[in-house]
Chains A and B, each alone.
Chain A
């Protein structure tokens, strides 16, 4: 068996794919959060950041394709592994069976993941492709321009999140992402063999903490906007 087959066919190989792509996605999630939080530094900062990304296709396209590959591999291994897990127990226990020691997050990884995948599709249509039909504001985000002639990312975020249903879906998706990460961040070190008895409890605690910090960061944006942040651009 060559090394590629080993990574894609064996149980542990697929777990490595899952852990490595999960790690890459988690690093992106943190970077993306830091980028987005610039909205709180004002219209100028976030629009300049948006303009920088848009005007460097040599950076943004490799990153996009890399992320797409990570999501595809992550979902592919998640679905394969989960199907194998299901097949390994064809007859279920009686109603007396309760999960033993397994956290809620660890038991719902596939479900939280699949909903995150659905969210990713919506999110890309919402703010990247800017499909007017799904933003529920009646506005065309393509036409939002600031005084310097750049795409007005600030106004797009403020109008996008001023709809409580859209914001609600974002908050729900971020909650599931952080549930996913609260188990995943610790588990990935276990899957790659990169922890030991001394570090395991520390890594698990830091992983859970990081997940909730990420949640706070992301959720702060739609919640602030719903509370009136940036409403001056809506006139």
Chain B
């Protein structure tokens, strides 16, 4: 396949960026999107130019570092798929592909397609943990947890912190991420005791970072590679309201 790539190039955080056009010839449909970028980069390096910077680590859809907006859609817009797991067979010969970084004020572009997602870490530091040491592995069923609760917590815990939800949202809201991180602990007995403090702290941190507000459009859920449900945002809304009414 032959493709035309329009890639966002930006020298560093301070410089303005622009789209640069590259031709990618000999793209195999079996390549992943990131492998395709690797091949393009080899050509760029051979010409003695600066390679396109993009984030990646596991390349198997579990770490959440590969953060690119492909043709306007975070991770390329395929159901439950990260950019590293996206195959070139989804594209057609001769297609033009726009490749850009996540766009949100709290995610400044460091270089080309690489953004700084430390804002997510600061939100987790504001409550996304259990304060006590939980010790070694407890006996099975020492703390009875209904299967539904365990499953629900597991669904929330699937969030890999990639930030695609923020990137897709017209308001650059981080609610899906924050809701997943809060709900995953709030649903289990070890986390429940700190529920109020957790939601108040995490929402305060989210606001401080400058993310937008949820208007229930559903874009986040549609692009989330881990299919985190909008229902976790509902849970966060309800838990934050209760914590506020308690006067905490």
Which residues of chain A come closer than 8 Å to B98, judged between CB atoms? 94-96
Chain A positions 70 through 95: 1 when the CB is less than 8 Å from some CB of chain B, otherwise 0: 00000000000100110111111111
Whether B241 is near chain A, meaning CB under 8 Å from some CB there, is: yes
Which residues of chain A come closer than 8 Å to B69, judged between CB atoms? 93, 97
Interface residues of B in 182-230 (CB under 8 A from A): 203-204, 206-207, 210-219, 221-223, 229-230
A100-B105 contact given A89-B172, A193-B241, CB 8 Å threshold: no
Which residues of chain B come closer than 8 Å to A180, judged between CB atoms? none
Interface centre among A84, A89, A95, A103 (most CB of B within 10 A): A89
Chain A residue at minimal CB-CB distance from B199:
A12
Which residues of chain A come closer than 8 Å to B104, judged between CB atoms? 88-89
Interface centre among B100, B230, B234 (most CB of A within 10 A): B234
Which residues of chain B come closer than 8 Å to A6, judged between CB atoms? 244
How many Å lie between the Cα of A200 and that of B234 in the bound state? 10
Which residues of chain B come closer than 8 Å to A106, judged between CB atoms? 215-218
Which residues of chain A come closer than 8 Å to B206, judged between CB atoms? 11
A88-B238 contact given A100-B77, A200-B231, CB 8 Å threshold: no
B12 smallest CB distance to A (angstroms): 15
How many Å lie between the Cα of A23 and that of B163 in the bound state? 32
Chain B residue at minimal CB-CB distance from A103:
B217
Whether A187 is near chain B, meaning CB under 8 Å from some CB there, is: yes
Whether A107 is near chain B, meaning CB under 8 Å from some CB there, is: yes
Selected contact of B173 from candidates A85, A99, A109, A191, CB within 8 Å: A85
Which residues of chain A come closer than 8 Å to B51, judged between CB atoms? none
Segment of A13-21, A38-46, A124-132 engaged in the interface with chain B: A13-21
Which residues of chain A come closer than 8 Å to B105, judged between CB atoms? 87-90
B112 smallest CB distance to A (angstroms): 14
B154 smallest CB distance to A (angstroms): 15
Decide if B213 touches A102 in the complex (CB within 8 Å): no
Whether A196 is near chain B, meaning CB under 8 Å from some CB there, is: yes
Selected contact of B244 from candidates A7, A11, A90, A103, CB within 8 Å: A7
A211 smallest CB distance to B (angstroms): 15
Selected contact of B231 from candidates A7, A12, A92, A197, CB within 8 Å: A197
A154 smallest CB distance to B (angstroms): 41
Interface centre among B6, B168, B171 (most CB of A within 10 A): B171
Decide if B229 touches A197 in the complex (CB within 8 Å): yes
Decide if B238 touches A99 in the complex (CB within 8 Å): no
Whether B103 is near chain A, meaning CB under 8 Å from some CB there, is: yes
Interface centre among A88, A92, A102 (most CB of B within 10 A): A88
With A90-B105, A107-B217 given, name 18 new contacts (CB 8 A). Answer: A12-B237, A85-B170, A89-B105, A89-B172, A94-B98, A97-B73, A100-B222, A100-B223, A101-B218, A101-B222, A102-B170, A106-B218, A186-B216, A193-B237, A194-B238, A196-B234, A197-B229, A200-B234
